[in-house]
Amino acid sequence: MSSVTTPAQRRQLVQQLPELRAADASAISRFLDAIWAEHGLARASLDSYRRDLEGLARWRDGAGGGLEGIDRAGLFDYLAWRTRHGWSPRSNARLLSALRAFFADAVRRGQREEDPTALLDPPRLPRLLPKALAESQIDALLAAPPVDDALGLRDRAMLELMYAAGLRVSELVGLPATAVNLRQGVLRVTGKGSKERLVPLGEESQHWLERYLQQARPQLAGSRPVPAAADGQVPLFIEPSLRPLSRQAFWHLVKRHATVAGIDPQRISPHGLRHSFATHLLNRGADLRALQMLLGHSSLSTTQIYTLVAREHLQKLHARHHPRG
């Protein structure tokens, strides 16, 4: 079979795999229940683990005892198959992380004597620096939505809030209406691993949130009560259908407003607003520990990558303006 390179072709390839066997489905569900109880992983992380484990189980189709019975050679074969068909090193590294957790749990429960991932090295990953927008580009993007209609006012409030608070996309679209305290000027955010943090709001984001809540949200809802989402919370940002926005819907609105702002939509992503938030704070002298708390990073090493971006910015300024740069 020829190599597959596009995401659509890879999805089609996965769809052609055999159906998930009942024994493998049971093993995966048991593992996810255990890891959720032990670590309190977020729903998105659990869904990612499920997709990765189900992909391997369907590829194996019960051979050699299925998912729980696979050996190291079988894992090598599966990783080679994925590489041959265009899965990236980053995607394979995420898969390996899921497999390590799954087989560590199997060894701990006495289902296996050894972990078949023990001698598997993770793929070598390129170091990717976050892509931050210039402050002038941020200004243009935030001004792009037409605020004379309800959807444009909602979009402006979402963009302002994401940049002001450095939110992840999933955090933004998943905000409940109760997360905002405009009187105190803070936002309660539930991040990865269901960890909560309080993020201060600036005057601009508060202004646009107030306008959204007072003008746009009542127009979008009309006389209809906004129903609770799957988590039981009433969403803060809604579609005309009263449903909360999906991550994909927010991705599309960012691209649309970027085009209006004169920014190449291929060079921007929703996560770019979070990167811009962090980079701009560091460029203006923010403390790294404070930035870690604002971003909700569990490890300071994750936050430290932004110092590389800030250093690169300073080097460019020096080269451009210093007489001997």
For the chain, the domains span 7-108, 135-321
In the predicted model, what is the mean pLDDT of residues 108-131?
Answer: 76
- pLDDT for the residue numbered 198: 84
Q: Is the pLDDT of residue 33 over 80?
A: yes
Identify the weakest region by mean pLDDT among 67-71, 130-134, 170-174: 130-134
What's the half-sphere exposure (Cβ side, CA atoms, 13 Å) at 137? 18
Kind plus residue range of the DSSP H or E element containing 181: strand 180-181
Q: Is the pLDDT of residue 324 over 60?
A: no
pLDDT band at 304 (very low <50, low <70, confident <90, very high): low
Q: At what angle do helices 72-84 and 89-108 cross, to 10 degrees?
A: 160
Please give the DSSP secondary-structure letter assigned to residue 267: G
In the predicted model, what is the mean pLDDT of residues 63-67?
Answer: 82
CATH topology of domain 135-321: hpI Integrase; Chain A (1.10.443)
pTM of the model: 0.60
- pLDDT for the residue numbered 276: 84
Q: Which amino acid is at 92?
A: N
pLDDT band at 299 (very low <50, low <70, confident <90, very high): low
Identify the weakest region by mean pLDDT among 113-122, 126-135, 236-245: 126-135
In the predicted model, what is the mean pLDDT of residues 122-131?
Answer: 64
- pLDDT for the residue numbered 137: 93
pLDDT tens-digit readout, 90-100? 888 889 999 99
Q: Is the pLDDT of residue 289 over 80?
A: no
- pLDDT for the residue numbered 129: 58
Give 223 or 122, the one with higher predicted confidence.
223
pLDDT tens-digit readout, 145-173? 999 999 999 999 999 998 888 888 889 99
Identify the weakest region by mean pLDDT among 69-78, 205-214, 242-251, 280-289: 280-289
Catalytic residue annotation: 168, 192, 271, 274, 297, 306
To the nearest whole percent, how much of the chain has pLDDT over 70? 86
What ranges in the chain are assigned the alpha helix state H?
A: 7-15, 22-39, 43-60, 66-69, 72-84, 89-108, 135-142, 150-165, 169-173, 203-211, 217-221, 247-260, 270-283, 288-295, 300-303, 305-321
Identify the weakest region by mean pLDDT among 167-171, 236-240, 257-261: 167-171
Identify the weakest region by mean pLDDT among 1-5, 7-11, 57-61, 282-286: 1-5
Q: What is the mean pLDDT of the chain?
A: 84
Which CATH code is given to the segment(s) 7-108? 1.10.150.130
Helix (H, G, I), strand (E, B) or coil at 189: strand
What distance in Å separates the CA atoms of residue 52 and residue 48, rounded to the nearest whole number?
Answer: 6
Q: Is the pLDDT of residue 255 over 70?
A: yes
- pLDDT for the residue numbered 308: 57
- pLDDT for the residue numbered 8: 82
Q: Is the pLDDT of residue 75 over 50?
A: yes
- pLDDT for the residue numbered 325: 41
